[in-house]
Amino acid sequence: MAFDALPPIGMGTFRLKGDDAREAVRSALSLGYRHIDTAQMYGNEAAVGDGITTSGIPRREIFITTKIWFDRLHRSDLINSLQTSLQQLKTDHVDLALIHWPSPDDEVPMEEYLTALRDAQREGLTDHIGLSNFTCAQMDQAREILGDTPIFTNQVEVHPFLANRKLVDHAQRLGIPVTGYMPLAVGKVMEDETLQQIASAHHITPAQVAIAWCAARGVVPIPSSTRPKHQTQNLDALKIRLTDDEIRTIDALDRNERIANPDFAPNWD
C-alpha cells in the first residue's frame, strides 16, 4: 500500500549496528511498529534491510525512511547513492527519502539537490521526499523550489529540553509534518524530576511521558531502543493523554539543549 501520511511513531536506528540493528528492527516490527528510520550515514542500511526482510511482515505494510548524506548532494551522486541504499535495504523503493542535512555553506545549491531528489521520486526510487535539520528559512526556500511537490516531513531534534518551538510551529504552518528525533534526549528524560513526577502520576515511565508530549504537539517521535520491553512501552505511549497542565509543565523544561549540533549544522532558529 502507498502511505499518505507518516505512521504516528517510528523506530529510530541511529547508533545501532550489525546484529543489534537487525534484531531491534525485527523485534520492533513484531511488536507493531510499521515505520523504520535509517540513514546512509548510520552505516546500518544492510542490517536494517535484513531485519525487515526476515521479519515476516509484508514489505508493503512497512514504511521505510532513509536519508542522503551531505557529501552526496550533487545530482548524479544523489541518485546513485539512493540506488545503493535500496540495494542495501533489499527493496526496490523507500517510502521516504530525506536530505539528512542542508549542504554546508550552500556548497551544493539547494535547487540542485532538491530537484534531484524530486527526480528520484519521479523515477520511483522513493514514494515521498522530505528534509532533515532544515531551518525555518531553509524550509521556505525548499517550499519555493519544490512548488506543488509535497514536503513529507522535516525531521529535527525534539525533546522536552529542546522543544524547537519556532521551527515546529513554522513547519506546521507550512503544512510540513515534523518528525522528532532523539525524543528521549539520549536517556536524559529518565533523570528529570519533573518528568518522573508526571510519570508517577500516570504509572508510566518518563520516556513514555516524553513520547506522549511529542505526540500531543503533532510531532512524530522516532525513539531508538533495542529492548522489546522498551519498544512496547514506546508504542503504548501513544495511548497516553497528558493534561493541559502537564503539557505546560513539560513545555517549561525547554532549555534549548541541542544534542545533535555538528560543526556543519545550519544557523539554528
Return the amino acid letter for 72.
R
Which value, to the nearest 10 degrees, does the dihedral of the CA atoms of residues 89, 8, 204, 210 take? 90
Residue from 33, 42, 113, 181 carrying the catalytic annotation = 42
Which ranges of the chain would DSSP assign to H, the alpha helix?
A: 18-31, 45-53, 75-89, 110-122, 136-146, 165-173, 193-202, 206-216, 228-236, 244-251
208-244 burial: b if 16+ Cβ within 10 Å, else e:
bbbbbbbbebebbbbbbbbeeebbbbbbbbeebebee
Helix 244-251 to helix 206-216 angle (10° resolution) is: 100
Show the cell assigned to 110. Answer: 539547494
42 is catalytic: yes
Which value, to the nearest 10 degrees, does the dihedral of the CA atoms of residues 215, 218, 219, 225 take? 20
Catalytic residue set:
42
